[in-house]
Amino acid sequence: MTTLSPHEIPVRTSQHAQMVSITRDIAERVPTGFTGMCFLFCQHTTAGLTINENADPDVVHDMLLELDRLVPWQNPAFKHDEGNSAAHVKATLVGADLAIPVHDGRLSLGVWQGIYFCEFDGPRQRRVLLRFQAG
């Protein structure tokens, strides 16, 4: 089993809640001819990673809208002193990591799939760790 060195992808968000497509950033880092797995990890507790439709921007809008409905920013029951408990809950719901198969130097995503960095407490400068592993 061969593991290449990890890479870091910077992500700058410009809104409080935002989904930023990082598909191209990931695809550009896949080694030529590589077959194996691509692992992504978000090192932040108020952000996450997901895969979803990348053709219609209304999907991103609807996802953020529904997450806000499920976990509203203002909740008098939250106790966290920083006031960003909703961002922590949303990050947990979305998740911090992804595993994507890679074949012959290309991510094995579906036709409509894109990789998104999900910001829930921005704007901020963030980063995603990237590792390729051949098996």
Q: How many domains does the chain have?
A: 1
Q: Is residue 62 very low, low, confident or very high in pLDDT (cuts 50, 70, 90)?
A: very high
What lies within 8 Å, CB to CB, of 100 at 6+ separation is 26, 37, 38, 39, 40, 51, 107, 108, 109, 115
Q: What is the pLDDT of residue 2?
A: 57
CA distance 115 to 130: 12
Q: Which residues constitute the domain of residue 38?
A: 2-134
pTM for the structure as a whole? 0.93
Print the SS3 string covering the chain.
Answer: CEECCCEEEEEECCCCCEEEECHHHHHCCCCCCCCEEEEEEECCCCEEEEEEECCCHHHHHHHHHHHHHHCCCCCCCCCCCCCCHHHHHHHHHHCCEEEEEEECCEECCCCCEEEEEEECCCCCEEEEEEEEEEC
pLDDT digits (tens, 9 = 90+) for 8-49: 999 999 999 999 999 999 999 999 999 999 999 999 999 999
Question: Is 80 exceeded by the pLDDT of residue 6?
Answer: no
Q: What is the pLDDT of residue 65?
A: 98
Residue 94 is part of a domain; what is its CATH number?
2.60.120.460
CA distance 124 to 94: 18
Query: What is the rounded average pLDDT for all residues in the chain?
Result: 94
For range 67-74, the mean pLDDT: 95
Within a 13 Å sphere around the CA of 93, how many CA atoms are in the beta-carbon half?
Answer: 16
Question: Is 70 exceeded by the pLDDT of residue 4?
Answer: no
